[in-house]
Structure 1
Amino acid sequence: MSVPSAAIGAQQAPAVPAGLAIVVLALLLSIQPVTTDLYLPALPALTRGLGADVAAGQLTLSALLLAFGCSQLAWGPLSDRFGRRPVLLAGLGLYTLASVGAVLAPSMDLLVAWRTAQGLAMGAVVMCARAIVRDLYTPLAGARAMSKALTGLGLIACLCAPLGGLLTEWLGWRAALLVLTAYAVATLALVALRLPETLGQRNPRALHPATLVRTWALVLRTPTFWAFSLLTTASYGGLFTFLAASSFVYLDVLGSSRTQYGLTLLSTAAAYLLGTLLCRRLLARHGLKRTVAIAGLLSASGGLLMLLAAALGWHSVAALLPPFYLFMLGHGIHQPCGQSGAVGPFPQAAGVASALNGFMMMLAAFAIGRWLGGALDGTVWPLVQGVALWSLLLAAIAWTLVQRHAPQESAHAP
């Protein structure tokens, strides 16, 4: 079975078997949680092992994500000019090289440098994945396809967290980073051998300065882009606050072991996976706008219940983790809807739209990482307050901007 030509929209891309498209998208999108979740259980250990402080350890994450976000601004136009396939191959090749460098890094400064290179490469991979969705699908069909791919991401993320904890316990933090190299090589081989070019019509002027300015202006003055990009940014902001703070809060404040912390991350990934499955059911029954509104309720409930538990003095894993599951259910709905919605209006500039969307998310992540580097104070409050703030902002966007600017499309559109 191949992706039907009716789903391709304005571009006539080659037919890609539906199963292959979902598998490749899942692997490409999963490179982001693989790069972060596998090493989060090792973050305190590598910080101590390289003789660095907490702020320097946070920089291995925040620098990676800043490079990830900024690099997409270059990769996007390059993919519109030369196609998705060459940009993917270049990105995966660079990522593999940077992964080897990170494993062998003898100092925190060199580890930060190699993680930054990983971020640059990761920008090409994830940006192309989002653009490929627009190459092959209409916006609502893209949300459904994205939810399937992100279900695969959830399954991979479920394995990453406990695997990272076990590897760190048994073999040390460098073993956790070594797995990234194996993942990159396998994904590179699949793309090189099986994935054809999906961009039906390259834009030979995509890199011309005047064309770039016009394209960026077109994307940035489109309300639909802003509605969905702010949605994905707020959703990722809440998740990243948890990811960046939880290793220190759960391990050092709440007393979890690395294995227990790995299982904690596994359970949050499982909640996200359930959210992607729920997303497809809600889209089929209610359409895009109402689905996002329901997810906004889940997000706000999770953040407020976590804040309430902390305010009542219930500073334990059993009290703080269950409310975050509600947030992750909402995240599993917001991301496929938001990522496909942000690029939906731009069939001829999906690379640029995807890049700008990704840049916004990673700019927020970098700011959060820098804030947490100074805010982590040996209590649960930075994590709790950050998640609560993003959850309320997310709900407000879901209930206002998305309802106003999402495309009018039947829940049962092809």
Structure 2
Amino acid sequence: MSVPSAAIGPQQAPPVPVPVPPGLAILVLALLLSIQPVTTDLYLPALPALTRSLNAPVAAGQLTLSALLLAFGCSQLAWGPLSDRFGRRPVLLTGLAMYTLAAVGAALAPSMAVLIAWRTAQGVAMGAVVMCARAIVRDLYTPLAGARAMSKALTGLGFVACLCAPLGGLLTEWFNWRAALLALTGYAMGTLALVALRMPETLHQRNPHALRPAMLAGTAAQILGTPAFWAFSLLTTASYGGLFTFLAASSFVYLDVLGISRTQYGLALLSTAVAYLLGTLLCRRLLARQGLKRTVAIAGALSASGGLLMLLAAALGWHSVAALLPPFYLYMVGHGIHQPCGQSGAVGPFPQAAGMASALNGFMMMLAGFAIGQWLGGALDGSVWPLVQGVALWSLLLAAIAWTLVQRHAPQEVAHAR
């Protein structure tokens, strides 16, 4: 298939400078990327309560999460080309405005069906926000610098995630589950105001052909035909798969099976966010000293160790938070390395189509999340095993990808000690 001359190919061209102060860029990226854990982590302590309050089965409660993620992933396939055609800023503003409206609707939902509909709308809007954030990284940075910038932004995400679960637990304890969902509105409005007032357009040259069918098909084929894209996208998908298994199952396992309180559960999620935060900090040090490939390989060892130790603890009959949570910290440290490296690596070869590459990468992650949510809806059986086995499976798959595909297809980079 022939495509217009503006079609992309794997490139390492440096981005054209855009007048965005470095501190502002990292702050905005952190807030935009954080909308995903804010949307999930803050309401997880309320998930069992809202399921009971709306007289719905567990599978329907899981659908409030899996439907959101499916909409999040699918919508990026549309938002990506739109941002390449019209720019990041109008897509961001539209997405944040839509998200604010949907957050209010979800908090006021009178039934589970209405709540699922508003959560799906939130997922569509969230797709615009996160996709643009990843594309902005490619607009402003070269691939290796993008991984470092992404790790800084994800450090900010880690700080936000540390607050979300405890806050969600406290809001649910003090008020009810609707208060936890309503808190999302304030976050979206604040981020919308910052982007509207301070963040300029980062896309140097819009692609007027980005929405043409021939261009869409040609661009997608070019991206999907690039081995480096697959290596890094599979890395991020497997890493997110393990995290999502934990997020979707842990509220039922920890609260209903292991019998801890919502506040204690919020603190447990806080501790995993701290481990993730440490991973993003470690990522920057490793990238500077070891380079991209060795950094990902080290993270693969952390991931596999966490999953296998959790499986071992469960096999030995140690079914308690004290036994099952610490191994997951190792997984989360690895996750804090895999995500900045993987997300930057997936879009790095495509400076002229970062929106489409980001969308395809995000779609893969959320498709995995939806499938996991559907599986867990029927697999949660009043034991710890669905949680433990799911995390162990993803951890081994993640390590295999980090040690094989990434080592084979990652670009050659020179590490500079700092």
Shift of 1:12: 2.2
Match of 1:347 in 2: 351
Q: Which one of the candidate residues 188, 192, 198 is aligned to 2:202?
A: 198
**TM-score scaled to structure 2, two decimals?**
0.96
Change in 2 beyond 3 A, CA 1:413/1:358: farther
The question of 1:211 aligning with 2:215 is answered yes
Give SS of 1:33's match: helix
SS at match of 2:178: helix
For residues 229 and 415 of structure 2, the distance between their equivalents in structure 1, rounded to whole angstroms, comes to 20
- 1:256 paired with 2:263, answer no
- Alignment partners' CA distance in 1, 2:264 and 2:15: 48
Partners of 2:283 and 2:376 in 1: CA distance = 31
1:90 aligns with 2:94: yes
The answer to whether structure 1 residue 31 and structure 2 residue 35 are counterparts is yes
Distance 1:168 1:13 in 2: 45
Q: Tell me what 2:324 maps to.
A: 320
Aligned position for 2:4 = none
Describe the superposition over 1:226-275 as per-residue Cα deviations: whole angstroms up to 9, x where unpaired.
00000000000000000000000000000110000000000000000000
What is the letter of the counterpart of residue 88 of structure 1?
Answer: L
Task: Write the letter of the residue equivalent to 2:230.
Answer: W
Give the Cα–Cα distance (whole angstroms) in 2 for the partners of residues 273 and 339 of structure 1: 16
User: Is residue 299 of structure 1 aligned with residue 308 of structure 2?
Assistant: no
In 2: Cα distance, 1:267 partner to 1:118 partner = 27
**Matches of 1:311 and 1:288, distance apart in 2:** 35
- Is 1:124 the counterpart of 2:125? The answer is no
- Is contact 1:140-1:413 (8 Å) kept? no
Whole-angstrom distance in 1 between the partners of 2:251 and 2:48: 7
In the alignment, structure 1 residue 151 sits paired with structure 2 residue 140:
no
Q: Is the 8 A contact 1:73 1:352 kept in 2?
A: yes
Task: Choose from 50, 75, 88 the match for 1:46.
Answer: 50
Counterpart contact for 2:14–2:142, Cα < 8 Å = no
Q: Which of 304, 309, 312 in structure 2 is aligned with 1:308?
A: 312
C-alpha distance after superposition, 1:273-331 (max 9, x if no partner): 00000000000110000000000000000000000000000000000000000000000
Match of 1:290 in 2: 294
Identity of aligned residues (%): 86
The answer to whether 1:78 aligns with 2:75 is no
**Cα shift readout 1:332-374 (whole Å, capped 9, x = no counterpart):** 0000000000000000000000000000000000000000000
Aligned to 2:269: 265
What is the DSSP-based 3-state SS (H/G/I as helix, E as strand, rest coil) of the residue aligned with 2:207? coil
- Partner Cα distance (1:384, 1:180) in 2: 30
Q: Which residue of 2 aligns with 1:5?
A: none
Q: CA deviation at 1:13?
A: 4.5
2:45·2:168 contact (CA, 8 Å) conserved in 1?
Answer: yes
- TM-score by length of structure 1 reads 0.97
Find the partner of 2:413 among 393, 409, 412. Answer: 409
Separation in structure 1 between the aligned mates of residue 68 and residue 85 of structure 2, nearest angstrom: 26
CA contact (8 A) 2:246 2:391 kept: yes
Say whether residues 1:278 and 2:287 are aligned partners: no
| Aligned-residue RMSD, C-alpha | 1.0
Counterpart mapping for 1:169-188 below 5 A: 169-188=173-192
Once the two structures are TM-superposed, the CA of residue 412 in structure 1 deviates from its matched residue by 2.2
Matches within 5 A, 1:330-345: 330-345=334-349
Q: Which runs of 5+ in 2 are unaligned?
A: 1-11
Residue 413 of structure 1: how far off its partner (Å): 9.5
Query: What stretches of structure 1 move > 3 A for 4+ residues in a row?
Result: 8-11
Indicate the residue corresponding to 1:364 in structure 2: 368
| Structure 1 unaligned residues grouped into runs of 5+ | 1-7
1:373 is matched with which residue? 377
CA distance in 2, matches of 1:41, 1:83: 37
Asked if 2 retains the 8 angstrom alpha-carbon contact of 1:11 and 1:199, the reply is no
Instruction: Give the whole-Å Cα distance in 1 for the aligned partners of 2:250 and 2:134.
Output: 28
Cα 1:296/1:76, change in 2 over 3 Å: same
Matches of 1:98 and 1:188, distance apart in 2: 14
Once residues 110 and 179 of structure 2 are traced to their aligned partners in structure 1, the CA distance between those partners, rounded to angstroms, is 14
